[in-house]
Structure 1
Amino acid sequence: MGRSSVGWCAVAATTLLAVAGCSGPAPARPGLPPAGVVVDYQLGGGYAPPDGIGGVVRDVTDAPDTDRWSGCYVNGFQTQPAERDVWLAEHPDLVLRDDAGDPVVDPGWPDELLLDTSTGAKRAAIAEVVGAQVTRCADRGFDAVELDNLDSWTRSDGRLTEDDAVDLAARLVDVAHAAGLAVAQKNAPDLGTRGRDEAGFDFAVAEECLAYDECAAYTDVYGDAVLDVEYDAGPFPDRCADPRRPTSTVLRDRDLRTPADDGYVLATC
């Protein structure tokens, strides 16, 4: 599943987004959720959210919420655990390898393999494979897509670069836009404006930007078009009062459980 991540943009699909702090206005794009909505992050399984929730984010294997704006999760830069063997069998040259020839794994998620974005040919091939999942999001009726693990280069021991990630992101954004989807930048606050200006992202998904004092890195680029998800229940009330927080900030349990599961958490500001 990768790093849990969330996406929403505070703008109606037919309304021009005024982005505070940006070098220029972002174009309105179909697929962006309405202004002011709060989005529940449901990667652990879809369910009917409580009142006050205006959208959901669900896995590409799940179905959108037909009553709400729906974002689609795709692991764009690493393999999903269930797809590990498929990538190794069908696309072994697209999996990043260490000096011994073994697949490079995400230390935080050792059942995920990093994809090899180191050459243009490999990025084009990855974009074809992952792009099929992005198109599937549109076919299933989702409004937007978030591409997880954009920052995989930071876990590659120098084998991959930020430029590699931005180039692959731009290829996947092109696929998504052609399918009518808006696209979220997922984490990677150090990108600055590159995610918007070079990759073409329409909004941002941030995890614990308040906890790590990173929210301005997103809001300076995307204005109110940022969704933050916090995971530490203790400081959450104080974080809701923080004037730096994005317009939509939610608290979720780290395993992204459903209401039927013990330990399920969802709170909103």
Structure 2
Amino acid sequence: MPAALLPVLGLVLALGAGPVVTPPPGGVDVDYQLGGAVAPAPNVGVVVRDRRAAPEPGRYNVCYVNGFQTQPGERRIWRRHPGLVLRDRGRPVVDEAWDERLLDIRTAAKRERLARIVGRWIDRCARDGYDAVEIDNLDSFSRSHGLLRPRHAKRFARLLIARAHAAGLAVGQKNWAGLDGRRLGFDFAVAEECGRYDECGRYVASYGDRVLVVEYRRRDFRRACASYGDLLGVVLRDRDLRPDGRRAWC
């Protein structure tokens, strides 16, 4: 190649590289703070907070975004987009455990519209200074009465992963242990109760030590620590994730 073309090639490569994405450090203690932000303990290296909270200075910060279901306190947003809420015989399909309505990701057109809405939240996480995003309820199809399929979740996830990566954020696969999310572009995993359901090893097979484990029962926490405490960040939290709720680490 002529020497005169080398600077041009370097410029092209630089422009095409995109933002640098950095996954969370492996094997460090994590605090799961979705119920409210508090100063983390000194041992904590990774903090997960709701997208409306500010990140914690000096820690690796993961921004929580409910990408596949509605938040209970955000009904007004979805009243403006009634066609994007999944319905069965005219009634919204609800995740009864959390009082969240499932989003309708069955068609490409709806996925694109939803990706623009959720994408704005992801962009806000990046502007606020977060390092990564976890997109919750990837497995909403399992609560959809058969209306949603895993393929719909994968296609929508790819859109959100691309949006997050374009903003410079790593993306965490939230639950769905049977999925190797690396094939979709996920960078790490957030696994709730993998000790309880004997699923931690499945996440480790995909992500190595880049798995953030949250347990809600002490016996499950002890089990996860016994098997994976030397490899993974495992935290015991109260199920309501209260700011003053319980916390323990391996």
Gaps of 5+ in 1: 1-28
| Contact 1:150/1:186 (8 A) holds in 2 | yes
* Compared CA separation, residues 244 and 250, structure 1 to 2 (3 A): closer
Map 1:69-108 → 2, pairs under 5 A: 69-87=60-78, 89-99=79-89, 101-108=90-97
Aligned: 1:196 with 2:186? no
CA distance in 2, matches of 1:98, 1:185: 27
How far did residue 33 of structure 1 move? 2.3
How far did residue 152 of structure 1 move? 0.3
How far did residue 243 of structure 1 move? 4.7
Give secondary structure in 2 for the equivalent of 1:67.
coil
Quick check: 245-254 or 204-213, which moved more? 245-254
How far did residue 169 of structure 1 move? 0.4
| Contact 2:27/2:231 (8 A) holds in 1 | no
| Contact 1:227/1:246 (8 A) holds in 2 | no
1:236 corresponds in structure 2 to: 221
How far did residue 238 of structure 1 move? 4.4
CA distance in 2, matches of 1:30, 1:190: 25
> Which among 71, 96, 114 is matched to residue 102 of structure 2?
114
CA distance in 2, matches of 1:151, 1:237: 26
Aligned: 1:268 with 2:249? yes
Aligned: 1:50 with 2:41? yes
| Contact 1:84/1:113 (8 A) holds in 2 | no
Instruction: Give the superposed CA RMSD.
Output: 1.5
* Compared CA separation, residues 246 and 116, structure 1 to 2 (3 A): farther
> Which among 20, 29, 32 is matched to residue 38 of structure 1?
29
How far did residue 233 of structure 1 move? 1.7
1:10 corresponds in structure 2 to: none
How far did residue 37 of structure 1 move? 1.9
How far did residue 235 of structure 1 move? 4.8
Aligned residues: 231
Residue identity matched to 2:202: A
CA distance in 2, matches of 1:86, 1:65: 27
> Which among 121, 131, 135 is matched to residue 133 of structure 1?
121
* Compared CA separation, residues 221 and 234, structure 1 to 2 (3 A): closer
Residue identity matched to 2:82: P
TM-score normalised according to structure 1 size: 0.82
Deviation string, structure 1 residues 214-251 (Cα, Å, up to 9, x no partner): 11221111111111111102453344222588511111
Query: Higher helix share goes to which structure?
Result: 2
Rg comparison, structure with higher value:
2
How far did residue 258 of structure 1 move? 1.1
Give secondary structure in 1 for the equivalent of 2:248.
strand
Give secondary structure in 2 for the equivalent of 1:32.
coil
* Compared CA separation, residues 245 and 255, structure 1 to 2 (3 A): farther
CA distance in 2, matches of 1:93, 1:249: 39
Give secondary structure in 1 for the equivalent of 2:139.
helix
1:171 corresponds in structure 2 to: 159
CA distance in 1, matches of 2:49, 2:238: 15
CA distance in 2, matches of 1:40, 1:243: 17
2:194 corresponds in structure 1 to: 209
Gaps of 5+ in 2: 1-19
Give secondary structure in 2 for the equivalent of 1:168.
helix
TM-score normalised according to structure 2 size: 0.88
Deviation string, structure 1 residues 91-120 (Cα, Å, up to 9, x no partner): 111000012x0111002122x110001111
| Contact 2:26/2:233 (8 A) holds in 1 | no
Give secondary structure in 1 for the equivalent of 2:218.
coil
Give secondary structure in 2 for the equivalent of 1:65.
coil
Residue identity matched to 1:162: P
The percent identity for this pair of structures is 55
1:64 corresponds in structure 2 to: 55
How far did residue 209 of structure 1 move? 0.5
Give secondary structure in 1 for the equivalent of 2:178.
helix
Runs of 4+ aligned residues of structure 1 deviating over 6 Å after TM superposition are none
How far did residue 135 of structure 1 move? 0.6
2:212 corresponds in structure 1 to: 227
2:12 corresponds in structure 1 to: none
